[in-house]
Amino acid sequence: MQKIFRSPKLLFISLVLFFLLVFFLFPINLFDGEIIYERGLVTITEQRPISLSYFIGIGYDKEDMVGVKDFYLLPIGYLIAFIFTVGIPALISYRVHLSKKSN
């Protein structure tokens, strides 16, 4: 465990994997997206936070998907996902790098 905290590259990789696992395995509705509903001849587009776990089929019931034609992330949702999965681990790893460099 100490080896991970001393190596910024190893810490970055492990944090990215950790955050990806959390966001893809648990239904945390955090990322801005759109859901397209189709009811008969009417198509309704609704903007709301969605989870990354929806894309692999985890976190929703079959009843919740009745009438849903498609769902996707908006550009701001992709940005938030990038910040959480890559940006925060990069900042933490950079902090470890700076503290290692100062010693």
DSSP state of 56: G
| Domain extent at residue 83 | 2-102
CA angle 63, 66, 70 (to 5 degrees): 125
DSSP state of 91: H
pLDDT over threshold 90, residue 93: yes
User: Do residues 71 and 36 lie in contact, with contact meaning Cβ atoms separated by under 8 Å?
Assistant: yes
Task: Give the model confidence (pLDDT) of 6-50 as tens digits.
Answer: 788 999 999 999 999 999 999 899 999 999 999 888 999 999 999
* Mean pLDDT confidence for 63-78: 89
Whole-model pTM: value is 0.84
Domain count, the chain: 1
Task: Give the model confidence (pLDDT) of 46-70 as tens digits.
Answer: 999 999 998 888 877 777 778 888 9
